[in-house]
Amino acid sequence: MGRVIVDMSPSIDGYVAGEGVSVASPFGDAGLRLHRWLGFEGATPAAADDEAVARTFGGAGAVVLGRRMFDVGIGTWGDDGAFGLPCFVVTNRPEPELVRGPTTFTFVTDGPAEAMRRARAAAGDKDVVVPGGADLVRQCLAAGFVDVIHLHVVPVILGRGVPLFGGGTPRYEAETTDVVASPHATHLTVAVKR
Q: Can you give the CATH number for the domain in which 96 is found?
A: 3.40.430.10
Give the H/E segment covering residue 118.
Answer: helix 112-123
- Residue 95's pLDDT band, with cuts at 50, 70 and 90, is very high
| Residue 49 lies inside a defined structural domain of this protein | yes
> What total of structural domains would you count in the chain?
1
Residue 151 three-state SS: strand
Position 57 scores a pLDDT of 96
Higher-confidence residue of 165 and 151: namely: 151
Is the predicted pLDDT of residue 157 greater than 80, yes or no?
A: yes
Please state the pTM of the whole predicted model: 0.95
- What is the span of the domain harbouring residue 163? 4-169
pLDDT (mean) for 142-157:
96
Residue 45 lies in a domain: yes
pLDDT value of residue 166: 78
pLDDT at 169 over 90: no
Closest CA to 62 of 95, 105, 100, 97: 105
Domain presence at residue 46: yes
Domain annotation covers residue 191: no
Whether residue 157 lies inside any domain: the answer is yes
Answer whether residue 2 shows pLDDT above 80.
yes
- Decide if 180 is inside a domain: no
* pLDDT recorded at residue 170: 74
Give the closest residue to 67 by CA, choosing from 19, 31, 111, 104.
111
CA 174 to chain centre: 19
Structure confidence by residue, pLDDT tens digits, 58-73:
999 999 999 999 999 9
Answer yes or no: is 179 within a domain. Answer: no
What's the confidence (pLDDT) of residue 138? 92
Is residue 184 one of the residues assigned to a domain? no
Amino acid 18: pLDDT: 94
Instruction: Write down the pLDDT at residue 173.
Output: 87
Share of the chain above pLDDT 70, in %: 100
List all residues 6 or more positions away from 51 whose beta carbon is below 8 Å from its beta carbon. 180, 187
The whole-angstrom separation of Cα 120 and Cα 42 is: 36
